[in-house]
Chain A
Amino acid sequence: MKEKSFIKQPLYLVFSIFIVSAVLLLLLYGTIKLEHSIEEKMVAISTTDIFSVTDNTTEYIHEMLDPNKDFITQVADNNILQANIERSLEVLITKNIAYAYLLYKDKRGVFRFLADGSLEDKAFLHQKFDIDNPKWLEVYKTKEALSIEHLFLQDLAITYISPLVQDDEVKLLLVVDFSVKKVLKIEQILTMMKYGIIMMIAVIVLFLLVLIFQTIRYFAMRKNAYIDKLTGVYNRNYLQDAQEFINLNEYVLATIDIDHFKAVNDTYGHDAGDRVLAQVASCITSVLKVKQDIVIRYGGEEFVVLVKTHQEDTLEALNSIENIFEAIRNYKFHISSDEYLPMTVSIGVNLHPYKSRTFSQAFKLADTALYHAKNRGRNTIELYDENENRNNSMMLSINEIKEAIEEKRLLCYFQKIVSNSDQSTSHYEALLRIEDKDGSIITPDKILPAIEGTFILRNISKAVLEICYLKLQEESKISLNVNLNPADIVNQSIIAILQEYAKTQNIAQRLGLEVVETQDIIHCEDGRKNLLFLKSLGYKIYIDDFGSGYSNFIYLTQIQTDFIKIDGGIIKNILEDKISYLLVKSVVEFAKAAGIKVIAEFVSSEEIYEKVKELGIEYSQGYYFSVPSRELR
């Protein structure tokens, strides 16, 4: 489960650096290209008009010259013409045009001045002029104007050469030199733009780096939030967030519970328990494929395992689960440096999670299988059997019940018990319900099977007792009956709670304790003593479902019960079934003789009510009078 973080993987890091460097180089290259392109365009914009004006001047000079006479001789021999030409050249001189002059090439190929419109550095007539670039000579071939960019001259940026053609031969060159001032200004603007772009890129890169850093940190933190520190496997947070994204087609789902883990904690302490948990997690992960399979510590000593598989072939995944089972069974769990324990686990497997609509439903089925594994004596693997469990599909799992208790979704419905003499409400029976997450109400037959024999049942009894205690305080004129399990009667914490409640005035007298008569409790001396003790505190004792199972008349007298509630299964047949009728009759006769009051359950019609009354039963409870409801009616 512990993977190397992204930053610590050298290959990824090198790759990232390479990508970032490449992007930066590309951006830099783009910036340089952009700079050159903008510079060219800006220079072109700045010079186009001047080039046109120069061309016009060339045209003008051309018109001043006689096409039938040699241009060079005309100008050289005519001072007035030369002066006129120089005046027209002077017009071209501006802040950015340093020089404007007329050249010719002599027979030796040497360039010489014919006229110079420059205000400074004025040349003499026929003065030799050394050109700086052989490109000048191209004008003689193309007979077209030409601009030359200077890269090495300090003061000049561009030279524009416009030819004067006579008899299809370039005779004169009108040359205009641009100073660097204009280009320097352009370059300054470009430099500012370049710096601006570089700064923007730097800011963007910085921002991206911060973003990447924060993202990595966020994912690292999120990962930490998903990892159980003790075992190093995923925790429940991960499951809550990831369950929507888990493709149930790809996994076999198993729930693993460490057998008798509570005993380890109680006997050796929580540190030892933690060591066992860590070692169990280690055993599980050692068997599974880290990159494919998912291990989650679901809570306490329970793990959820998702083993990657194909829908058609679940055998391999099942083998992996068996390997986990065996690995744990064969492992020596060290609770200290020199002490170790053998441990076993119970595993519930849902081989076909894809058949469930949601992960929760798939998990519930695995949990049901786990429940069966525990019921069958633990230390075993149980596969979820669809047929076996079809009728129990609505049953809550242990974890769902735990959640309901934690989230205070446990509640009581109340059904009244009436006096048969006048149909007045004598008292109410509090009936356990759980409100499901979707708001539906779950009845005890869907709750109790999963938690039978577990400490959760005791917690439920405590919660129901508290609800009834508060209700009695709230409603001072009613009496309530609460159902207790035989195990509750021998549990000191329950007895202590009832003892505490009895200290509150007028509580014990109004709180009836309904206990199912079982063989266990009859033969348990503590149970009998506790019932007598509770009776001494003022509580009324009711024997529930009398006649349905183990019914012992002597026991009733021993515990001095106040009421017996005849099982609904007998009452509902009382009209048709003679045996049932006779059974009820004999119970009523015995009860009257023993001074015990009788309540008939499942009184669902007027006929049954009349029959019950005829038999001399004092109280009735059933749908004929009321259905259980959240409010007292």
Chain B
Amino acid sequence: MRTLLVSFVIATTLSAQNYTFLVSEYTKETELEAKIVSNIAEASLNKSEIRLFIPEISELEERVYSNFVTLTSSCSEADFVFVKRSVDVTEYCQDMDKVYVTNNYSKLLSDQRYIGAFFWQKSRPNITFLNKRLQKKQIQLPSNYEKFVEDF
């Protein structure tokens, strides 16, 4: 009996990584995204206390983002809006003058509201700001963000 118990404990310990999904979902990518988005928001608004609104935020994102930034549930209370997925931001922030960032490069090009985008290109995090839109919003990014700014 003792041998059986010891064998079971050894086998379970060796295969422990197969059972981690029972404890928590994989959060590394979301965590990286939250860090970058909060940094972008701080750089864009040039302040540390940011109130972020993500329309139709998932539970996982809410849990992870709240570790880095203050989340709001309505667009009106937010300083910074990060639009993910195929959400129509107009539904949530109609005529509201906020700083908008998307996670879709195409959307960035086509929608004038967005000053920049944070997205995954070839499985790598990519940041792009459009210079004219930054100027229009009178946003001055720190010098270390210059490499992310496109001149159009």
The interface of chain A, by Cβ under 8 A from chain B, is: 98-99, 101, 108-110, 118, 121, 123-124, 127-132, 153-156, 177, 195, 198, 202
Q: Which residues of B contact A153 (CB under 8 A)?
A: 123-124
Cβ–Cβ contact B126 & A130, under 8 A = yes
The interface of chain B, by Cβ under 8 A from chain A, is: 10, 14, 28-29, 105, 120-128, 147-148, 150
Please judge, given known A-B contacts A108-B147, A124-B105, whether A202 and B122 are in contact too, CB under 8 Å: no
Q: Which residues of A contact B122 (CB under 8 A)?
A: 98-99, 101, 118, 121, 123, 129, 156, 177
B9: min CB distance to chain A, Å: 12
Give the interface SS of chain A, mostly helix, strand, loop or mixed: loop
Cβ–Cβ contact A130 & B10, under 8 A = no
Please judge, given known A-B contacts A124-B105, A154-B28, A195-B14, whether A129 and B121 are in contact too, CB under 8 Å: yes
In the complex, number of A-B residue pairs with CB atoms less than 8 Å apart: 48
Complex Cα spacing A427 to B121, Å: 126
Cβ–Cβ contact B123 & A202, under 8 A = no
A135: min CB distance to chain B, Å: 14
| Given A130-B124, A154-B28, 12 other A-B residues pairs in contact with their CB atoms under 8 A | A99-B123, A121-B120, A123-B121, A127-B105, A128-B150, A129-B122, A130-B121, A130-B127, A153-B123, A154-B29, A156-B123, A202-B10
B147 contact from A110, A121, A198, Cβ within 8 A:
A110
| Chain A residue nearest in CB terms to B17 | A191
Complex Cα spacing A177 to B120, Å: 14
Cβ–Cβ contact B14 & A198, under 8 A = yes
Cβ–Cβ contact A121 & B121, under 8 A = yes
B125 contact from A123, A124, A130, A177, Cβ within 8 A:
A130
Complex Cα spacing A124 to B152, Å: 15
Q: Which residues of B contact A123 (CB under 8 A)?
A: 121-122
Cβ–Cβ contact A130 & B148, under 8 A = yes
Most-contacted residue by chain B among A128, A132, A195 (CB, 10 A): A128
Complex Cα spacing A353 to B87, Å: 106
Complex Cα spacing A98 to B128, Å: 23
Complex Cα spacing A64 to B136, Å: 43
Please judge, given known A-B contacts A123-B121, A198-B14, whether A128 and B28 are in contact too, CB under 8 Å: no
Complex Cα spacing A99 to B147, Å: 24
B66: min CB distance to chain A, Å: 22
| Chain A residue nearest in CB terms to B120 | A121
| Chain A residue nearest in CB terms to B28 | A154
4 closest residue pairs by CB, A with B: A155-B123, A130-B126, A132-B124, A156-B123
A–B Cβ pairs within 8 angstroms, 28 of them: A98-B123, A101-B122, A108-B147, A109-B147, A121-B120, A121-B121, A121-B122, A123-B121, A127-B105, A128-B126, A128-B128, A128-B148, A128-B150, A129-B121, A129-B122, A129-B124, A130-B121, A130-B125, A130-B126, A132-B124, A132-B125, A153-B124, A154-B28, A155-B123, A156-B123, A177-B122, A177-B123, A202-B10
A483: min CB distance to chain B, Å: 71
Q: Which residues of A contact B127 (CB under 8 A)?
A: 130
Q: Which residues of A contact B121 (CB under 8 A)?
A: 121, 123, 127, 129-130
| Chain A residue nearest in CB terms to B146 | A108
Q: Which residues of B contact A121 (CB under 8 A)?
A: 120-122
